[in-house]
């Protein structure tokens, strides 16, 4: 996601709908695992 943000901000690259949806799903998955899973110990 950091690479996509750098590309969009500094290099003027445009993200299409599929890329935005994919990034959103990745973020949602990370949040679900970190917030709701009992197997991850922090």
Give the pLDDT confidence of 1-42 residue by residue, as tens digits: 788 888 888 998 888 999 889 999 999 999 998 888 877 565
Check if the beta carbon of residue 27 is closer than 8 Å to that of residue 20: no
pLDDT at position 30 is 92
Check if the beta carbon of residue 23 is closer than 8 Å to that of residue 4: yes
Residue with tokens 């110990």: 41
pLDDT at position 42 is 59
Query: pTM (2 decimals)?
Result: 0.66
Would you kindly state where each structural domain of the chain is located, as residue ranges? 2-35
Which of 42, 34, 21 has the alpha carbon at shortest distance from 1? Answer: 21
């Amino acid at each position: 996601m950091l690479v996509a943000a750098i590309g969009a901000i500094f290099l003027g690259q445009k993200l299409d709908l599929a890329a935005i949806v994919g990034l959103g799903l990745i973020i949602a998955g990370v949040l679900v695992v970190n917030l709701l899973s009992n197997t991850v110990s922090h």
